[in-house]
């Protein structure tokens, strides 16, 4: 099995989910005492949050490229970025490493296409919802993307940064997300992308009436599939 390199810490709560999901998928696939060979480089999210405030994406990209290079030099065979929003920097990462980089939107798009859906709601930070780096990948596969109105985008973003990245889960916030998802479903959304790796801390499939696409789970499990390609057969 190949070694998975993870750039984490954005936030560490969701990064811990990645580690859990990756190892569960390996055990499910290979059985016995198997676990995942992986290397986690966890950054200081406060540094990135300050860069958000300055709209300084160059500094964020520089940190991500440095982190990806460190993982490659440490022996990782592929790299994943344990966050949706920072995939804005994915082109820079890809240009500066020689090992595969698994884009979270590509992995998610594969799952949406497999279900035959053509119109999807996208929730995430305001950057993920408003910028094109995520929507362009979906649109390229014939999938229409719906995002909440400006007021609801602000609500979603505020809950992410003031609650979820701090590990705070409130019932009132869940209800707000449920209301927003329902309104998008009424506009034709056939499913909803939980396009921030913290949102699954708040919203589960049983909380809404349309299919959810948990990007954390999708990304982690696809990374395992890539790591297992060409590996040894399952054993005890």
What are the pLDDT digits (tens) for 102-123?
999 999 999 999 999 999 999 9
Fold observed for domain 105-215: Rossmann fold (3.40.50)
- Claim: this prediction has a pTM higher than 0.95: no
Quickly list DSSP for 211-234: -EEEHHHHHHHHHHHHHHTT-PPP
Neighbours of 59 (CB within 10 A): 13
Q: With contact defined as beta carbons under 8 Å apart, do 16 and 28 qualify? A: no
pLDDT score of 230 more than 80: no
Q: How far is CA 49 from CA 42, 124, 152, in A?
A: 14, 15, 21
Mean pLDDT of 191-209: 94
Range from 29-33, 162-166, 175-179 carrying the lowest mean pLDDT = 162-166
Percent of all residues in the chain with a pLDDT value above 90, rounded to a whole number: 87
pLDDT band (50, 70, 90) for residue 49: confident
Q: With contact defined as beta carbons under 8 Å apart, do 138 and 145 qualify? A: yes
Q: With contact defined as beta carbons under 8 Å apart, do 130 and 153 qualify? A: yes
Q: With contact defined as beta carbons under 8 Å apart, do 144 and 173 qualify? A: no
What pLDDT is attached to residue 167?
86
- Tell me whether domains 4-103+218-228 and 105-215 share a fold: yes
The residue behind tokens 């811990």 is 16
CA distance 118 to 138: 10
pLDDT score of 233 more than 80: no
Helix axes of 132-140 and 104-114: crossing angle, nearest 10 degrees: 40
What ranges do the domains of the chain cover?
4-103+218-228, 105-215
pLDDT score of 182 more than 90: yes
What pLDDT is attached to residue 231?
55
Mean pLDDT of 173-197: 96
The residue behind tokens 């200081």 is 44
Q: With contact defined as beta carbons under 8 Å apart, do 202 and 14 qualify? A: no
CATH number of this structure's domain 4-103+218-228, picked from the four choices 3.20.20.70, 1.50.40.10, 3.40.50.1860, 3.40.50.2300: 3.40.50.1860
What sign has the CA pseudo-torsion 89, 22, 105, 78? positive
Which residues belong to the active site?
A: 83, 196
Tens-place pLDDT, residues 61-72: 999 999 999 999
Average pLDDT, rounded, for the chain: 93
What pLDDT is attached to residue 75?
97
């Amino acid at each position: 099995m190949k070694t998975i390199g993870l750039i984490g810490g954005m936030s560490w709560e969701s990064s811990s989910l990645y580690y859990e999901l990756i190892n569960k998928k390996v055990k499910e696939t290979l059985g016995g005492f198997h676990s995942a060979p992986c290397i986690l480089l966890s950054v200081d999210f406060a540094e990135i949050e300050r860069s958000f405030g300055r709209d300084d994406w160059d500094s964020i990209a520089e940190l991500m490229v440095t982190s990806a290079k460190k993982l490659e030099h440490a022996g990782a065979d592929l790299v994943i970025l344990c966050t949706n929003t920072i995939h804005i920097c994915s082109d820079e990462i890809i240009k500066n490493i020689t090992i595969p980089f698994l884009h979270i939107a590509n992995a998610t798009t594969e799952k949406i296409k497999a279900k035959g859906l053509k119109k999807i709601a996208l929730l995430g930070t305001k950057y993920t919802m408003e910028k094109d780096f995520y929507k362009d990948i979906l649109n390229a596969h014939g999938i229409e993307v719906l995002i909440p109105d400006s007021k609801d985008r602000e609500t979603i973003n505020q809950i992410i940064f003031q609650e979820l990245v701090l590990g705070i889960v409130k019932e009132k916030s869940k209800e707000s997300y449920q209301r927003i998802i329902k309104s998008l479903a009424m506009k034709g959304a056939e499913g909803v992308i939980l396009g921030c790796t913290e949102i699954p801390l708040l919203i589960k499939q049983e909380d809404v009436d349309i299919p959810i696409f948990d990007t954390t789970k999708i990304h982690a499990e696809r990374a395992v599939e890539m790591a297992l390609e060409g590996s040894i057969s399952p054993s005890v």
